[in-house]
Amino acid sequence: MIKKFLKIFTKNNINSQNRLQNLKNDSKIKKIFNSINDHSTESEILFVGGCVRQNILGEKINDIDLATNLNPDEVVNCLNKNDIKYTDVGKKYGTITAIIEKKKFEITSLRKDVKTDGRFAEVQYCKNWKEDAKRRDFTFNSIYSNLNGELFDPFNGKKDLLNGWVKFIGNPATRIKEDYLRILRYIRFFLIYSKNNHSEKIKKIIKQNISGINIISGERLLSELKKIILSKGFFKIPKDQFSREIIQLIFPQIINFNIIKNIEKRSNENLFNENDFTFLISLLIIDETDNADYFVHKFNISKDEKDRILFLKNTYKDLNKNFFEKKNLKILLYKHGKYKVIDLIKFHILKSKNIHNINELITFCEMQKAPVFPFNAKFLKEKYNYKDGKLLGDKLKQLETAWLSNNFKLADEKVDSILRN
C-alpha cells in the first residue's frame, strides 16, 4: 500500500497545497478518485507528472495525469460502474482516458519495463509504485501526490525541482537508450526548470547517443518540439548554446534562432497567440529557400498547418515595399481572406523588425469585407456567347487582372473592350 509512504508537503508549499485543494474540490476529480478507491481496499490512485510539478511550484495546473495500481481492464470496470465515459485508444500502453463534462483525464496503470528498443517499451503491469517510478525519466517526473498534497517521492524529485536540477533516474545513458526521445525531453525540461549549467557528463552522453534520434518517428519528435516552443523555456533557447545545438541537430530546418529574441521583445504587442505553434514555427523555418517545404513534408504536418506555413513562405518572399498600403491589403484580402492576411502582417512585423501601426492595419483587415469579383462564366456565356473552354477562362482572368489593378472597379466600356477583342 502506498499510503504509509506518502510524505506531507512542507509549510513553504502552502500556496501550492491550496491549488491542489481546488482539484480536491473538483467534482470531476472526486468522481474519478472515488471510482478507483472504492473498487477494493487495495486499489489506489494518485496524481503524477506535470500536474504535481506545477503544484509544487505554485503554477497553474493544466492537464491532469493519474496513476493507479489497477490494470486497464479494472480501470474500465470502475469507470463503467460509475457511469464515467472513457476512451481506450491508449490501452495497449496502459492508459485509459476518462471523460467527464468534456474534460479528459489520463489514468495509467503502474508498469515496469520488460524490454526496450530505444523507441518503445514492452511493459508488465504491477502493483509496486516504486517499480513504476523507476521506469520514468527524470526525478521530478516520478513524484506522486494524493488529494491532500501528500507526496510519494522515491527519488527526491521535489528537492531537485526546487533547486533547478534536471536529473535522470539511475544511469543517464541507460535511460536515454531506453527511449531516445528523452534527449529532447531533457532539453525541454532543462529550458523550463534548470537553474544550473548543463553537466559536462550529460552533454557528453547526449552527444554520444544523438544518432538514436533517427529511429524516433517524426510524429513523436514534432509533438516534443511543440511542447518546447509553447513552453516558458522557449525564450531561453538563444541563450543556451547546448540546447540550441541539440535542437538544430534534430531539426536542421530550424535556422532562424535569432528571431526568438525579437519575438520575446515584442511578446506584449499581441502579435501572436502564445499557443500558436504553427505561426511560431513558421518564423523559425521560413527563408528564401525550400527549407519550410522540406520541414512540412518530413514531419507530416497537418494540411491546415501546411497551408498556413507555405502561404506565409510563398507570399512573404513576393512582398514589395508597398505591402502596407490599404489598396494592396485589399487585394490580398480578396485572394486569401482576412486570417491569412493578418498572419502575414504579424509575420512581416516580426521578421523585418520595422515599426508600423500594427493595430490600425489589423483592425482594417478585421473590419474590411473582402471584395467580390463581379463577373463569372455565366455572364460571359449569356452576354457575349462564350463557350466553355480555355478562351473563357483566359477572358475571366483578364477581367480579374484589370479589376484588381483599377481598385476593384471596371467600367462597362473596359469590360466590353476586353471581351470583344
pLDDT value of residue 14 = 41
Residue 23 pLDDT exceeds 90: no
Closest CA to 321 of 346, 352, 366: 352
| 355 close to 266: Cβ distance less than 8 angstroms | no
Q: How much is the mean pLDDT over the chain?
A: 89
Residue whose grid cell is 501550492: 16
CA distance 415 to 418: 5
Residue 170: inside a domain: no
If you average pLDDT over residues 8-29, what whole number do you get? 61
Q: Which long-range contacts (CB under 8 A, 24 or more apart) does 252-256 make?
A: 253/285, 253/291, 253/292, 253/294, 253/295, 253/298, 254/281, 254/284, 254/285, 255/284, 255/285, 255/287, 255/291, 256/283, 256/284, 256/285, 256/286, 256/287
Residue 175: inside a domain: no
If you average pLDDT over residues 255-275, what whole number do you get? 86
Query: Are 1 and 137 members of one domain?
Result: yes
Query: Are 264 and 344 members of one domain?
Result: yes
Q: Looking at 223, 251, 279, which one is the last position of a domain?
A: 251
Ranked by mean pLDDT, the top range of 192-206, 296-310, 313-327, 352-366 is: 192-206
Reported as a pLDDT band with limits 50, 70 and 90, residue 17 is low
Helix 277-285 to helix 291-298 angle, to the nearest 10 degrees?
130
Residue 138: CATH number of its domain: 3.30.460.10
CA distance 370 to 331: 8
Instruction: Give the tens place of pLDDT for each residue, 40-68.
Output: 999 999 999 999 999 999 888 888 999 99
- Give the per-residue SS3 of 91-112: HHHCEEEEEECCEEEEEEECEE
Query: Are 13 and 145 members of one domain?
Result: yes
| 139 close to 189: Cβ distance less than 8 angstroms | no
Terminal CA-to-CA distance of the chain, rounded, Å? 90
pLDDT value of residue 273 = 80
Reported as a pLDDT band with limits 50, 70 and 90, residue 318 is confident
CA distance 32 to 54: 20
Closest CA to 277 of 315, 304, 255, 246: 304
Query: Are 279 and 356 members of one domain?
Result: yes
Reported as a pLDDT band with limits 50, 70 and 90, residue 353 is low
The percentage of the chain sitting over the pLDDT mark of 70, rounded to a whole number, equals 94
Q: Strands 103-109 and 111-116: what pairing?
A: unpaired
CA distance 393 to 374: 15
Query: Are 405 and 337 members of one domain?
Result: no
Query: Are 197 and 128 members of one domain?
Result: no
Instruction: Give phi and psi for 400, each to the nearest 5.
Output: -65, -45
Q: Strands 65-68 and 103-109: what pairing?
A: parallel
Q: How far is CA 196 from the centre of its chain?
A: 26
Query: Are 209 and 86 members of one domain?
Result: no
- Residue, of 214 and 327, whose pLDDT is higher: 214
Instruction: Give the tens place of pLDDT for each residue, 139-180.
Output: 999 999 998 889 999 999 999 999 999 999 999 999 999 999
Residue 150: inside a domain: yes
Give Cβ neighbours of residue 306 (< 8 Å, ≥ 6 apart). 296
CA distance 66 to 409: 62
Query: Are 292 and 384 members of one domain?
Result: no
CA distance 80 to 98: 10
Q: Residue 15 carries which side chain, given as an amino acid letter?
A: N
| 138 close to 169: Cβ distance less than 8 angstroms | yes
| 351 close to 258: Cβ distance less than 8 angstroms | no
Residue 173: inside a domain: no
Query: Are 57 and 146 members of one domain?
Result: yes
Cα-Cα-Cα-Cα dihedral sign, residues 60, 65, 69, 70: positive
Query: Are 198 and 287 members of one domain?
Result: no
Reported as a pLDDT band with limits 50, 70 and 90, residue 21 is low
CA distance 382 to 293: 43
CA distance 132 to 136: 7
Instruction: Give the tens place of pLDDT for each residue, 109-119.
Output: 999 877 777 77
CA distance 330 to 372: 11
pLDDT value of residue 170 = 94
Residue 172: inside a domain: no
Reported as a pLDDT band with limits 50, 70 and 90, residue 365 is confident
If you average pLDDT over residues 102-114, what whole number do you get? 91
Residue 70: inside a domain: yes
Query: Are 348 and 381 members of one domain?
Result: no
- Total domains in the chain come to 4
Query: Are 292 and 325 members of one domain?
Result: yes
Tell me whether residue 368 is exposed, middle or buried, using C-beta atoms within 10 angstroms of its C-beta: 0 to 12, 13 to 18, 19 or more. middle
Reported as a pLDDT band with limits 50, 70 and 90, residue 13 is very low
Domain with 227, as residue range(s), is 182-251
The percentage of the chain sitting over the pLDDT mark of 90, rounded to a whole number, equals 61
Residue 61: inside a domain: yes
pLDDT value of residue 10 = 41
Q: Looking at 106, 136, 163, which one is the last position of a domain?
A: 163
Q: Looking at 354, 371, 388, which one is the last position of a domain?
A: 371
Residue 130: inside a domain: yes
